Structures are given as structure tokens and as C-alpha cells.
Amino acid sequence: MSNLRPGVGYLEVCEGVENEIRRRGGDPAFPSGLGVNEVTAHFSPEQGEKRFITDDDLVKLDYGVHIEGYIADTSVTVTNNAAYQPLLKATERALQAAIEVVKRDRRVGEIGRAIAREASKDGFKTISNLSGHTVERYVVHAGKSIPNMFMPNLPVLRQDEVFAIEPFLTFGDASGYVVDSEPETIFSIIARKRTGSKELDELLEMIWSGRKSLPFTPRWFAKGYEMAKMVRYLKELEARRLVRAYPTLVEQSRRPVAQFEHTVALDSDGAVILT
Ligand code: MN
Ligand code: MN
């Protein structure tokens, strides 16, 4: 991850990681996400993005690999800003604490409890409306959520399940939840149906052949398309409920957020870290 440092452009970071995934024989499981400061999730730089990482920034890179639909999802946070170091370290410890409590037949709320407890030791709080998730073939976010706080009566973890644990931490004075924001850079196909429009059908088929139900970003298909036209077509497909968009999520009070994530498989002895 040598690209993830001050002075490097957002686009260069994300295209770098996506190209490295392909070079090693995988394919991105979703568009690599770059979350700078309060930008928390679901932002992937677009074509023409000019911004670059600065010394003050807290930067999350969230990326995933799939091979024939089998998915690994991970993230790291970096910063050169001393004021953000304790937040970064606490988030790393929270992920560690979460992995330590993973056990067969344990309720997922117990993982949330371990994460929140670790965060509060240093006066930080977790983002209450983001969570980890089980992973299934061609499905990044499958049935079960793994909360970042204690919640009672949630499902238990079963042997052979694969799931991502991803604590998001912020400062104690922050709101502690994320809200939808602009722009929309990540999409996925939710249904395949003829639309009656040749252009829309062709776009849907082209994306489906590359991505199936996995998320994508328009810049991946920029070669064959004029970008403004593709965005317009995606809006039409969204209106017909064939495509969904994932808006950029930002911390409500605009405070910085750190994230670490691993994908874990549960075998008879406990967690096996896959990432
Ligand atoms: Mn992730
Ligand atoms: Mn995830």
C-alpha cells in the first residue's frame, strides 16, 4: 500500500490498488473506497478527480477482492496527523478485541460489545449505524450484520460462516453516526429485465457480464462510454429499480472517522483471518 500517503492523488491510490488486485489474478469485489476525514464509506474517486492526500488527513482505504465470487473485504487507516494517531490506534485495538471474542454460537451483539468497550476506554465512540456483515458468494453484504455496539437478541455466528468485522471509531464529541451525502459513485445491479430501450439494455448487459450483482463504479466502464451519458442511463436504471446507488456516507457532525476491517472465517476453533 505504498501509494497510500500524502501527496498522492485519490484516483491514483484507488486505481493503484484495483490494478494490483487484477495483476495478482483477482478482481475488485467492489470499487475501492477512499474515506478522507469525515467521509466514512462508499466514496470512490471519479474520473477527473483532482484531490490528493495531505499531511493533515486521516485516510481510510477500503478494498476487496473476489475470485469467482468468493470475497475478501478489508480496510486500513493511515495518518501523518499526530492528533489522529490515538483514534487510529484505538480502532486497530477494537478490531483485535472483536476478533478475540469470535466463537461458534456467540451472538453477534457480543462482538459489538467488545468493539464499543475498547473504543470507550480512550473516550472514543463507534459509528452506531455502520456494521460488519456476513459475506456470501457474489454478495458483499449478506444476511447478518455485525454491529459496532452491543445489541441484544441478535443472531449467533455459525461454523463455516465468513464475515467482515469493521469497527468505525470517531471522537467522543462527535454525533457518532453517518448520513447520506453526495456524490453517488458506487452502484450495483439489483435486477435484470428488458427495459424497452436498446441503450439501457446494452449497458445493463455489459455491466452484468463484468460484475453480476457486485458493486461497480462508472469509471470502470469509461472506455466505451461518454461519462455524462452513462450517469444519465444509470439514473434511468435506478428509477426502474434495476440498479441501486450507494451514496457517500459522512459522519453527521463532520468529525474524522477511522476504520479497520478484516474478513474472518469461523472454523471449529474460532476465527481464521482471511485478509
Ligand atoms: Mn470494506
Ligand atoms: Mn465490509
| CA nearest to 18, candidates 78, 65, 70 | 65
Q: Is CATH 3.90.230.10 what the domain over 10-179+253-273 is classified as, yes or no?
A: yes
Distance 193 CA to ligand 2 centre (A): 28
> Where along the chain do the CATH 3.90.230.10 domains lie?
10-179+253-273
Distance 135 CA to ligand 2 centre (A): 9
Helices of type H across the chain: 10-23, 85-101, 108-121, 198-211, 227-239
Read off the pLDDT band of 248 (50, 70, 90): very high
Helix (H, G, I), strand (E, B) or coil at 159: coil
Q: Name the percent of the chain in helix, strand, coil, to the closest 5.
A: 30, 30, 40
9-21, pLDDT tens digit by residue? 999 999 999 999 9
Q: What are the C-alpha distances in Å from 114 to residues 14, 97, 122, 200, 202?
A: 31, 6, 14, 47, 48
Active site residue 261: yes
Active site residue 173: no
> Where along the chain do the CATH 1.10.10.10 domains lie?
181-248
The strand pair at 162-165 and 270-273 is best described as unpaired
User: Alpha-carbon distance 48 to 226, whole Å?
Assistant: 13
Q: Is CATH 1.10.10.10 what the domain over 181-248 is classified as, yes or no?
A: yes
Catalytic residue among 166, 184, 251, 262: 166
- For residue 1, pLDDT over 70 is answered with no
Active site residue 66: no
50-96, pLDDT tens digit by residue? 999 999 999 999 999 999 999 999 999 999 999 999 999 999 999 99
Q: Please tell me the pTM assigned to this model.
A: 0.94
Distance 229 CA to ligand 2 centre (A): 30
Cα of first residue to Cα of last residue in the chain, in angstroms, is: 14
The whole-number pLDDT of residue 255 equals 98
User: Alpha-carbon distance 178 to 128, whole Å?
Assistant: 8
User: Alpha-carbon distance 39 to 52, whole Å?
Assistant: 14
